[in-house]
Amino acid sequence: MRILIKDFSSHIGQEIEVSGWLYNKRSSGPIAFLELRDGSGWTQAVAIKNELASEIWNEIERATQESSVIIAGAVSAHPKKPDVYELHLKNFSIVNLSPDYPIAKKEHGPDFLMDNRHLWLRSKKQWAILRLRDAVMTAIAEYLHQQNFIRVDSPIFTPNACEGTTTLFPVPYFDLGTAYLSQSGQLYIEAAIASVGRCYDFGPVFRAEKSKTKRHLTEFWMMDAEAAFVEHEENLRIQEGLVRHIIRYCLEHCAEEFAALERNTENLKKADSDFTRYTYDQAIAKLRELGSDIKYGEDLGNDDEVLLTKDSVVPVFIEKWPKNIKSFYMKRDSANTELVLNDDLIATEGGGELIGGSQREDDFDLLLERIKKEGLNADDYQWYLDLRRYGSVPHSGFGIGLERTVRWLAGAEHIRECIPFPRTIGRLKP
Amino acid sequence: MRILIKDFSSHIGQEIEVSGWLYNKRSSGPIAFLELRDGSGWTQAVAIKNELASEIWNEIERATQESSVIIAGAVSAHPKKPDVYELHLKNFSIVNLSPDYPIAKKEHGPDFLMDNRHLWLRSKKQWAILRLRDAVMTAIAEYLHQQNFIRVDSPIFTPNACEGTTTLFPVPYFDLGTAYLSQSGQLYIEAAIASVGRCYDFGPVFRAEKSKTKRHLTEFWMMDAEAAFVEHEENLRIQEGLVRHIIRYCLEHCAEEFAALERNTENLKKADSDFTRYTYDQAIAKLRELGSDIKYGEDLGNDDEVLLTKDSVVPVFIEKWPKNIKSFYMKRDSANTELVLNDDLIATEGGGELIGGSQREDDFDLLLERIKKEGLNADDYQWYLDLRRYGSVPHSGFGIGLERTVRWLAGAEHIRECIPFPRTIGRLKP
């Protein structure tokens, strides 16, 4: 019977068959230890020469790193380690012999690994990150559905820019001129709340930014959520609820992945507690106390985010920013109309910004005024203004960056490891 | 207490509050019937003039179609219709008055509706399709995870074409020349099976096709699945399992949506039974019997698909096509090397092609031969050939078009209704 490695625990003592890839082999004279991966997990098969026909032992000797193989044997529990199982090998065959696998056990530079991303994905850490990413996506969909959000995907081809025009990718579009690749689906899902009440999109977005940091990709995945009749306070509660749900879901489902990543999960457990909140004013004051030379009215850089959160065990909201450094669609704070009802959520452990959110301006006149003040073409926004013409409601939303969330949870150094095939200013392959 | 319309059944007899949009109002002298939508569902509030303060009645009279409103009242079960509830109105306030809503109850042409897609989404059928689409996506993720697939998203920016070069959207990409928007993530997820065993992507893909049919979009969503150690027969079983899971999930979760769409769900129930299978040879013979003039070696057009399946209550697989009309990566049938181990899955009721799948060529030399024969540049495919160099395994996969599936399930006329903001050769807005 062919089974998956993850199901070994319910087959102890049985003879089974596993198919996968040999990622390592160690021999000690008449004993060989074969380390095997099948996608669902990792295990070790022990082969003892004098128990096996010579043809089988010869095949074991012939097998190279990353050869695809089928192994039969009896499952046993590791005598000392809990939840560890191994295979006592009875049969072995090579499906495809892999000669000279380029990714050896020695260290490789990042360019070499990225050139071989199609193979590098097989390494244990990359396997763990792929699976963690899948878990994060599942957790997001689960939480949002529990909270009555419906998935409504926004378009990639857009006729105008949502957040500025300098970082857009233009695409020639038939006889209609130029399309731009979406930087955010927010404006579109704002339209859909009047249909389904609460909705979210979740897809790739694009920034033609010439940034070469550990936190930038030209193509990355973003989830935007938007909800009718939700104001600033509830918006923050939904965001906190989502992030804490993601943490809990991953801790519950990804123990093996966190172990492979050598991630300190205690820190993640601690982060699943009431998040800290600063107003922008408080954040600036605290940053200056901590030695930053940031001035009131400036945006926070990554260094500021790290400095501000360095002693916090929970993620930190920074809310109510000056309106003139924030987007036109954010609603003014009625208590101080120089501020907007927005928030950024900063992760712990140097993870940086995960979420940006705000209550949206729902007043037609104020929105139009902001569009004009930003120098945007009001004609391009007539459809968006329609949402304030016909049954406008108080509403709020936010966007969470998938790769930044995965990077934080995985404790990964570079965001390029947190997307299967990263695209950056200098990389379009494989 | 503010509740959702979908939760009315557990609040019978209670006074509650609902927020949403007034989509219709009928008056009969001293009684007004207010039809309300809140995203979660649709309900009717009954207002009786002589029970209400005059200010409240005046507001009811003032309220227009698509005004956003808050209504308080007592929930009651409809005396005759099961699962229908209504509100006995006690209080009413207008959040935002909507003047002259452009989509009246009269018929509008498709261009007008598409120009107003941001508002048209509010109509009951569009609401139902959005929610059905969400259910299909949830059902797909649920089934694939049950079958041990992990989500591994493929890139949108690609350096070369997967299926031909004539229908690509080019994008200038920094100093690296031109990127092309992905037409399929298949080749990429083939790489990931050696990491996670079974995987899928699910995202937008792009075709610069000048087709103006009811089945074509320039931007649409595709789910590609790929599994190691899965051969042709099992590939078909997974596809059939997926489609039947989608049907069952939607029947279970979308009764109200199907009712709004006036969809014959009996036909969908019948489709959840063993799928029919034809070989390509059998399909051609049957089509000619049915009067088609198709010749052996030709691809099936939409008319052929409809003709072939017109009497079938279940979807129909057409398997093992001539290799020279199919893609280079499909594995030859060892029983007849002129054929490949592929399949198309055709829906019932004229729904057309939902899925294309195949076992993939896993032999390095045969794959290289096919790449060269197709006139493709072998250098562009070195990374893909690596997957056959290093631990190649038998593997199979398929792609399912989301909008085509939603169109079939919804019984929608045109695919443009099955994506929130459709993009076609002539449409880039809103």
| Triad A354, A356, A361: Cα angle to 5° | 170
Q: Is A329 left (phi over 0), alpha (psi -120 to 50) or beta?
A: alpha
Kindly state the tokens that stand for A97: 């012999």
Task: Classify residue A430: in a domain, yes or no.
Answer: no
Task: Classify residue B111: in a domain, yes or no.
Answer: no
Q: What does each C-alpha distance from A217 to A114, A363, B205, B269 come to in angstroms?
A: 14, 35, 19, 45
H-assigned helices in A327-401: 364-373, 382-389
Task: Please tell me the distance from the alpha carbon of residue B365 to that of residue B334, in angstroms, as a whole number.
Answer: 15
Q: Which of A44, A61, A96 is the last residue of a domain?
A: A96
Preceding peptide of A430 cis, ω within 30°: yes
Give per-residue pLDDT as tens, A368-387: 999 999 888 999 999 999 99
Q: Which of A64, A96, A128 is the last residue of a domain?
A: A96
pLDDT at B211: 79
Which of B127, B148, B390 should be substituted to probe chain A, the one whose Cβ sees the most A Cβ atoms within 10 Å? B390
Task: Classify residue B425: in a domain, yes or no.
Answer: no
Do B35 and B155 have their domain in common? no
Do B70 and B155 have their domain in common? no
Q: Which of B96, B128, B162 is the last residue of a domain?
A: B96
ipTM: 0.97
Mean pLDDT of B125-145: 98
Q: Which residues of A touch B195 (CB under 8 A)?
A: 39, 121-122, 126-127, 130
Do A229 and A358 have their domain in common? yes
Contact state of A98 with B390 under an 8 Å Cβ cutoff: yes
pLDDT at A209: 86
Give per-residue pLDDT as tens, B167-203: 999 999 999 999 999 999 999 999 999 999 999 999 9
Provide the shortest C-alpha distance from residue B290 to chain A (in Å).
Answer: 39
Q: Which residues of B touch A138 (CB under 8 A)?
A: 141, 145, 151
Q: How many domains does chain B have?
A: 2
Q: Is the distance from CB of B312 to CB of B275 less than 8 angstroms?
A: no
Give per-residue pLDDT as tens, A135-173: 999 999 999 999 999 999 999 999 975 556 678 999 999
Task: Please tell me the distance from the alpha carbon of residue B89 to that of residue B68, in angstroms, as a whole number.
Answer: 16
Do A184 and A127 have their domain in common? yes
pLDDT at B83: 87
Helix (H) or strand (E) holding A355: strand A353-359
Largest Cα–Cα separation, chain A: 86
Do B90 and B124 have their domain in common? no
Mean pLDDT of B32-38: 98
Task: Please tell me the distance from the alpha carbon of residue B120 to that of residue A318, in angstroms, as a whole number.
Answer: 37
Task: Please tell me the distance from the alpha carbon of residue B301 to that of residue A263, in angstroms, as a whole number.
Answer: 53
Task: Classify residue A427: in a domain, yes or no.
Answer: no
Task: Classify residue A299: in a domain, yes or no.
Answer: yes
Q: How far is CA A262 from the centre of its chain?
A: 18
Provide the shortest C-alpha distance from residue B392 to chain A (in Å).
Answer: 6
pLDDT at B79: 85
Residue B165 confidence class, pLDDT cut points 50, 70, 90: low
| Triad B209, B212, B215: Cα angle to 5° | 90
Task: Classify residue A10: in a domain, yes or no.
Answer: yes
Kindly state the tokens that stand for B365: 């030399």
Q: Which residues of B touch A171 (CB under 8 A)?
A: 169-171, 181
**Number of A:B CB contacts under 8 A?**
269
| Triad A243, A245, A247: Cα angle to 5° | 70
Give per-residue pLDDT as tens, A113-134: 999 999 999 999 999 999 999 9
pLDDT at B164: 60
Do A330 and A409 have their domain in common? yes
Q: Is B196 on the interface with A (CB under 8 A)?
A: yes
Kindly state the tokens that stand for A253: 């489902």
The secondary structure of A309-332, three-state, reads: HCCCCCCEEEECCEHHHCCCCECE
Do B180 and B273 have their domain in common? yes
Q: Output B78 or B197, whichever has higher pLDDT.
A: B197
pLDDT score of B232 more than 60: yes
Mean pLDDT of B283-305: 95
User: Residue ranges of chain A with pLDDT lower than 50?
Assistant: none
The CATH number of the domain where B59 resides is what? Answer: 2.40.50.140
Residue B28 confidence class, pLDDT cut points 50, 70, 90: confident
Going by C-beta distance under 8 Å and a sequence separation of 6 or more, which residues neighbour residue A311?
none
Q: Output B103 or A79, whichever has higher pLDDT.
A: B103
Do B32 and B126 have their domain in common? no
Task: Classify residue B35: in a domain, yes or no.
Answer: yes
Task: Please tell me the distance from the alpha carbon of residue A423 to that of residue B128, in angstroms, as a whole number.
Answer: 36
Strand duo A332-333 + A198-206: pairing:
unpaired
- Domain residues for B366? 117-418
Do B223 and B352 have their domain in common? yes
Do B307 and B336 have their domain in common? yes
Do B306 and B351 have their domain in common? yes
Task: Classify residue A425: in a domain, yes or no.
Answer: no
pLDDT at B215: 79
Q: Please provide the average confidence, as pLDDT, over all residues in chain B.
A: 96
The CATH number of the domain where B364 resides is what? Answer: 3.30.930.10
Task: Tally Cβ neighbours within 10 Å of residue B311.
Answer: 8
Give per-residue pLDDT as tens, A273-320: 999 999 999 999 999 999 999 999 999 999 999 999 999 999 999 999
Task: Please tell me the distance from the alpha carbon of residue A318 to that of residue B1, in angstroms, as a whole number.
Answer: 30
Contact state of B99 with A131 under an 8 Å Cβ cutoff: no
Do A150 and A279 have their domain in common? yes
Task: Tally Cβ neighbours within 10 Å of residue B343.
Answer: 26
Give per-residue pLDDT as tens, B59-72: 999 999 999 999 99
